[in-house]
Amino acid sequence: MNSFRYETKIAKSPADVYAALTTKSGIQGWWTPDCDVPSQIGDLLNVRFGEMFHTYKIESLLPYEEVYWNCVEHFHNMPGLTIFDEWVGTRLSFKLSAVENGTQLLFEHEGLTEQLECYPHCSERWPFFLGVSLKEYVEIGTGRPYIDQEPAEFDT
């Protein structure tokens, strides 16, 4: 496996899901309130989670269909990790398809493999942030973004 994949259906239009992935208010609503979200291909998108951060180069923006980001800088200092920049060179893709009563989201984190030290942590977080927080943000207007602490769902 060369990537982590996750798929979910969101009961809103591809335009609504695309806006949540490509605007500052969207990213703030489901992923993290501390972000810089430009709108041009080639620009750098920054998301911050307390001391941790990710910087992505926007590679592709095809309205209502796909978004691609390439990780160019990363600092992930979770407890137990000894390698803090494993995501550098990985790529995130969000592919949207119109389906009956909504949008099918196919997410792929190319390069996030079981061999990476952060895999157990990240493979749990992506389903939460996409399948719970993004879904709730787009469908009902309130997501569960990171707020300088671990989400309650992971405290167990």
Mean pLDDT of the chain: 94
Domain boundaries along the sequence of the chain:
3-154
Q: What are the two backbone dihedrals, phi and then psi, of residue 3, each rounded to the nearest 5 degrees? A: -160, 165
- In angstroms, the CA 34 to CA 48 distance is 5
41-72 pLDDT per residue, tens: 999 999 999 999 999 999 999 999 999 999 99
| pLDDT at residue 25 tops 90 | yes
Its CATH class, for the domain covering 3-154, is alpha beta
Length of the chain: 156
50 touches 148 (CB < 8 A) = yes
Please report how many Cα atoms fall inside a 13 Å half-sphere around the Cα of residue 36, on the Cβ side.
11
Q: What is the C-alpha to C-alpha distance for residues 34 and 29, in angstroms, rounded to an integer?
A: 10
Residue 153: pLDDT over 50: no
- pLDDT (tens digit per residue) in 86-104: 999 999 999 999 999 999 9
pLDDT for 20 equals 99
pTM reported for the whole predicted model? 0.92
Place of tokens 């992923």: 31
CA angle 53, 54, 56 (to 5 degrees): 155
Residue 156: which residues within 8 A CB-CB, separation 6 or more? none
Question: What element of type H or E holds 24?
Answer: helix 24-30
